[in-house]
């Protein structure tokens, strides 16, 4: 999430009641989680396992729960509970605002766009020209829709991320990380019926120009999908995934979190992707591998009983 204007780190320190170390004259332009952090951002960390990654990330300011070494140009904000500090910042800059009308007064809808009955358009939503928003679609706060976009009935765009801060020392183990990111859908995208597209936790979930999405597809928070991709029915994509241009994901393919699928990859139906996929190749199976090899493996698996029988007969 970007702030309306740069904010001094000293003001942030006061807001979250934190000690300040390092560059006390810095300003920050937004807050982000580690997978999408950029220069000017605040990031938070509350476990020593991730100190180095956060401190040496592009972040300008790190909210942390312990004194530690850090580059002199950065700012540390030290507080007992960095997660609560994160929530305080999010609630200050993007407080919850209920939708009181089916189309918010703050929504901007372009020329030639139609919004069917039963749809809800949230606060600060921007929808471009010549779009078709079918019945019972929900587009939640701060989402951005380009031109010539079609959204079929029952789809939800901008629902909260499935993202929790986990600590078993608490009575409630899983504390919700409140989502302050957006969904950005570029021009000429089509989204089928009954799909769900989660907003970013702090950054944007992006669907690239010309991408076509079938029914009952889920796209997780902070995922970036390239241009001219095809996603068939019941594809599920976890958070923080980066998908290149021209990628095809066939039905019921499952994509694990924070991985990269390069350009022009094809993933065949019911495959489970758990790691990086190299551009221009076709993948199949769980875990997904080169489709030609995986299909040969299936042939050999089917022959195991026959081969076992021959082995046992030879030993008899």
Q: Which of 62, 93, 124 is the last residue of a domain?
A: 93
What mean pLDDT comes out for the span 218-224?
97
pLDDT score for 316: 45
pLDDT score for 33: 86
The mean of the pLDDT values for the chain is: 94
Q: Which of 35, 203, 218, 221 is catalytic?
A: 221
Residue 303 lies in a domain: no
Whether the CA torsion 289, 292, 298, 301 is positive or negative: it is: negative
Read off the tokens for 170: 């608490």
Query: How far apart are alpha carbons 28 and 111 in whole angstroms?
Result: 36
Domain CATH code at residue 256: 2.160.10.10
240 lies in the same domain as 141: yes
Domain CATH code at residue 55: 3.40.1390.10
Residue 9 lies in a domain: yes
Residue 121 lies in a domain: yes
140 lies in the same domain as 212: yes
262-284 pLDDT, tens digit each: 999 999 999 999 999 999 999 99
Residue 119 lies in a domain: yes
Residue with tokens 């068939």: 232
Where in the sequence is the domain holding 29, given as residue range(s)? 2-93
93-105 pLDDT, tens digit each: 999 998 889 999 9
Domain count, the chain: 2
27 lies in the same domain as 85: yes
Q: In degrees rounded to 5, what are phi and psi of residue 32? A: -150, 160
66 lies in the same domain as 124: no
222-267 pLDDT, tens digit each: 999 999 999 999 999 999 999 999 999 999 999 999 999 999 999 9
119 lies in the same domain as 47: no
131 lies in the same domain as 228: yes
Residue 182 lies in a domain: yes
Catalytic annotation present for 56:
no
Q: Is the pLDDT confidence value at 174 over 70?
A: yes
Can you state the angle between helices 304-315 and 291-302, rounded to 10 degrees?
A: 40
83 lies in the same domain as 114: no
86 lies in the same domain as 115: no
User: Which of 170-174, 177-181, 224-228 comes out lowest in average pLDDT?
Assistant: 170-174
Indicate the pTM of the whole model.
0.92
Structure confidence at residue 59 as a pLDDT band (50, 70, 90) = very high
86 lies in the same domain as 143: no
User: Which of 60-69, 143-152, 160-169, 267-276 comes out lowest in average pLDDT?
Assistant: 160-169
């Amino acid at each position: 999430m970007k702030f309306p204007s740069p904010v001094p780190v000293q003001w942030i320190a006061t807001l979250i009641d934190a000690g300040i170390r390092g560059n006390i004259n810095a300003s920050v332009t937004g807050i982000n989680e580690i997978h999408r952090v950029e220069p000017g951002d605040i990031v938070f960390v509350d476990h020593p396992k991730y100190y180095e990654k956060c401190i040496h990330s592009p972040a300008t300011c790190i909210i942390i729960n312990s004194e530690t070494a850090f580059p002199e140009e950065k700012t540390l904000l030290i507080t007992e509970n960095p997660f609560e500090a994160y929530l305080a910042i999010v609630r200050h800059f993007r407080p919850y605002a209920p939708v009181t009308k089916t189309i918010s007064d703050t929504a901007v809808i372009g020329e030639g766009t139609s919004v069917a009955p039963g749809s809800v358009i949230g606060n600060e939503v921007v929808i471009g020209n010549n779009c078709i928003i079918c019945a019972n679609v929900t587009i939640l706060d701060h989402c951005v829709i380009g031109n010539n976009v079609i959204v079929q009935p029952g789809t939800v765009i901008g629902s909260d991320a499935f993202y929790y801060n986990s600590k078993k020392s608490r009575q409630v183990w899983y504390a919700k990380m409140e989502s302050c990111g957006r969904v950005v859908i570029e021009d000429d995208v089509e989204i089928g019926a009954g799909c769900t597209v989660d907003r970013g936790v702090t950054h944007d979930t992006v669907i690239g120009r010309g991408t076509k999405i079938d029914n009952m597809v889920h796209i997780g928070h902070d995922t970036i999908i390239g241009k001219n991709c095809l996603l068939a029915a019941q594809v599920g994509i976890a958070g923080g995934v980066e998908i290149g241009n021209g990628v095809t994901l066939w039905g019921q393919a499952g994509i694990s979190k924070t991985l990269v699928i390069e350009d022009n990859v094809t993933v065949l139906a019911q495959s489970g992707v758990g790691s990086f996929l190299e551009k221009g190749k076709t993948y199949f199976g769980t875990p997904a591998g080169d489709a030609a090899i995986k299909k040969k493996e299936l042939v050999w698996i089917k022959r195991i009983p026959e081969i076992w029988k021959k082995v046992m007969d030879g030993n008899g």
